[in-house]
Amino acid sequence: MPVEGFLQHVSDAFKTGEWWNLPWWREVSDASDQPEKEIAEKAFCELRQVFDGAWFREQVPLGSLAHPIAILLLIKGLVPFQCLLRLGRALCAVRNAGLLSGKLRNRLKLPAEFSGVHWEVEIMGYLLSRGFSLAPHAIGAGNRRADLHVSGSGEEIIIELHRRTAAFPRELAQKNMDWYEKAQPKRLDEIFESPEIIGANRAAQDKEADRIFRLLKGGHGKIGQLPDKPGIILTQPALPFSLDRLQNHLARFGESRKCFLGVILVWPHFSGGAIGFSVQWLPNKHAGRAMSEFAAVRAICELGEGLAH
């Protein structure tokens, strides 16, 4: 399609809110075989139910498209198509399992909430597509509740979802900028060799690891909420932190919690028109069983390796 024609379709979509009438994703879908076309139609129909016309029209007065989905809907190509297809398929699976609540839909529409809830939907959809059964609000001893009860392959595991929200420390950013202006390094890699930069960032990462551990070990919806069954915490960090420090905290804390298998860190990232994941696990070495024994844990880590579902 000529550029002029595509821009006219974009303009019409902003006026009507009907982004699904933009032809680019249909053109990509039409190039697939028939089964894939049917899957794409269902996925984009699900996206249309969540990201409806009223939502799309609201993106225009903002002056810029702050929501990642709004951006993807206007980027032509296979990469944004695959990203939208993946989210739409996950939404279909979550809806069919009865887990797509109104609250979840509303959170997906908000730019500030999207990155956090997006990975939850992707993980749920991914586990469902791999044949696992999910039930919300698993209840254990003492009426403790966790987010998901996952079963399959003759095993059960509890998953508690957690997200840390925080902005990059202003004082640390200013300190790094002051050093850069004062030192005027001749090479970019000097920034990563400077004791002034490394020391300040290491201290900040230690503090962030301490904060994450405090959030994980107590309060509502954390390690203390896990029922007395094998369970993990899936958490989305917001800032760089010391992995070794957090692992040491978890090792000491885990001595008295044999059912707690450990923490899986999930970082969503948006680049090059695609939303992907990086995954890393921190096991509790004192647990009664190893994290790697559970198929659901292995499946989540495979999601981080970019395997399609």
Q: What is the pLDDT of residue 194?
A: 67
- Nearest CA among 203, 196, 198, 194 for reference residue 169: 203
Query: What 3-state class would DSSP assign to 39?
Result: helix
Per-residue pLDDT of the chain (309 residues; tens, 9 = 90+): 444 545 666 677 777 788 887 767 777 777 666 667 888 889 999 999 999 988 888 876 555 567 888 888 877 777 788 888 889 999 999 999 998 989 889 999 988 888 778 878 888 998 999 999 998 765 554 555 667 889 987 888 988 877 766 666 677 667 767 766 776 766 666 665 666 666 667 888 888 888 888 877 765 446 666 667 888 888 888 778 888 999 888 888 777 788 889 888 887 665 555 566 788 888 888 888 898 899 999 888 887 654 333
Q: What pTM was computed for the model?
A: 0.74
Q: Which residues of 152-184 are buried (b: 16+ CB within 10 A; e: fewer)?
A: beeebbbbbbbbbeeeeeeebeebbeebeeeee
The structural domains of the chain, with segments of one domain joined by +, span 3-111, 133-167+199-304
CA distances from 33 to 98, 178, 308 (A): 30, 56, 17
Q: Are 253 and 226 in contact (CB under 8 A)?
A: no
Residue partners of 112: CB distance under 8 A and separation at least 6: none
Q: What is the pLDDT of residue 112?
A: 82
3-state secondary structure of 190: helix
